[in-house]
Amino acid sequence: MSGSDHRATGHASLPGHVAIIMDGNGRWASTRGLPLLAGHRAGADAVQRTVRAAISRGVGWVTLYAFSSENWRRAPGEVADLTGLLRYYLRHKVAELSREGVCLRFIGDLARFPVDIQEEARRAETVTAANTRLVLVLALSYGGRADIVQAAIRLAQAVGRGERAATDIDEATFAGALLTAGMPDPDLVVRTSGECRLSNFLLWQSAYAELVFLDTPWPDFDETHFDTVLNIYSRRERRFGARPA
């Protein structure tokens, strides 16, 4: 179900779905005179803290922008470090997440990753499928524009095959063709490390999300920062295009 299907205006309380652009690993490492990989490892620790915070606060969905489609353009060494770190966590941390009641899902062009990572991702989804405390979505090789384009292609092909009429396509139909089909739209999108842009993340899905930008680099993000963004969200008035009361 799309989050837009159950909108209610007024002051928000607890977001059902928090999406996070995890930014600042490189700058965090640079300011400490550490190699870039150290920043990515510290960022992975921040992911674990965030998962625990979301569970304890009762947030049902967290989506993390773990690897964008543009990240493939980075230096080969950094891409290798990122994929190696992903491989390690898929192999060694999924069981721990499952014990904590986390259901793992992946969105993005996973076919660009090595075959073993694709297999580990599918295994992680299968192993954690029955868990209900938190749905953790990892956006890997994901781009919002590419997501919209592939949805348009899928619907155009369905029209071409005579399976649906073009005039029957509405927002709900289009949302159902996105990689996030079946997921609620994010209520809150957070970006760390002082940048104030979405960087091609969940562009369609974030149409009515509340946006919060923090100066804190991602490796320093902890439960206190998670509470901070929840408190900011709770003071926002969500109108979904309606006039204020």
Q: What is the pLDDT of residues 119-161, one digit of tens each?
A: 999 999 999 999 999 999 999 999 999 999 999 999 999 999 9
Number of domains the chain is built from: 1
Inside any domain, residue 101: yes
The whole model's pTM is what?
0.92
182 annotated as ligand-binding: no
From the candidates 5, 45, 71, 200, which is the catalytic residue? 71
40 annotated as ligand-binding: yes
pLDDT given at position 239:
72
Inside any domain, residue 150: no
| CATH code of 223's domain | 3.40.1180.10
Inside any domain, residue 96: yes
69 annotated as ligand-binding: yes
Inside any domain, residue 165: no
pLDDT in tens, 63-112: 999 999 999 999 999 999 999 999 999 999 999 999 999 999 999 999 99
**Residue that is written with structure tokens 């990515």 in the block:** 40
Task: Tell me the residue range of the domain where 71 lies.
Answer: 14-145+186-232
From the candidates 23, 147, 185, 187, which is the catalytic residue? 23
24 annotated as ligand-binding: yes
Inside any domain, residue 202: yes
26 annotated as ligand-binding: yes
Inside any domain, residue 134: yes
pLDDT given at position 244:
60
Inside any domain, residue 180: no
3-state secondary structure of 212: strand
Is residue 231 flagged as an active site residue? Answer: no
Is residue 71 flagged as an active site residue? Answer: yes
Inside any domain, residue 113: yes
Q: Which residues contact 59 (CB under 8 A, 6 or more apart)?
A: 14, 15, 16, 17, 18, 134, 230
pLDDT in tens, 172-216: 999 999 999 999 999 999 999 999 999 999 999 999 999 999 999
Q: How does DSSP assign 102-161, residue by residue? A: EEEEEES-GGGS-HHHHHHHHHHHHHHTT--SEEEEEEEEE-HHHHHHHHHHHHHHHHHT
3-state secondary structure of 11: strand
